[in-house]
Amino acid sequence: MVWDGLKRDDAATKAGLKPHALYVALRKPHVKAFYLAELDVLRTSERARNILALTEVRDQTDNKMARVAAVKALEQLSDDDNASGSTASHSPGVVIQILAAPARPMPAVHIEASHNHITENE
């Protein structure tokens, strides 16, 4: 699918699978992660050619709107690379939601986190 640009059913047939089997496989986290990693490799390897194609559009004189769009796209590529990097990073954390106060006060709860378990003490 990634390297040959095949549709899912055609890729399944080429791999000796039934189309539904590939559909089910792509729902598995490790298969999906591998697929997305391969897409990232393809995207990265094609980036230089994409930039060159945009510069060719920018440098032509027939279509001024295409030139403007190519310049905007090239500028956006630069901004995206500097702002977010090539991969998003996630870090563990806690979400604290502050809601409106209840009609009666709630008892205070002290929560201690220790490695793999959480205990509550009132």
pLDDT of residue 88: 53
Q: Please, what is the Cα angle at 20 between 19 and 24, to 5 degrees?
A: 125
pLDDT in tens, 22-45: 999 999 999 999 999 999 999 999
Residue 84 has pLDDT above 60, yes or no: no
Mean pLDDT of the chain: 81
Burial pattern 56-87, b for ≥16 Cβ within 10 A else e, equals ebbeeeeeeeeeeebeebbeeeeeeeeeeeee
What is the pTM assigned to this prediction?
A: 0.53
pLDDT value for 24: 95
Contact between residue 53 and residue 38 where contact means Cβ atoms under 8 Å apart: no
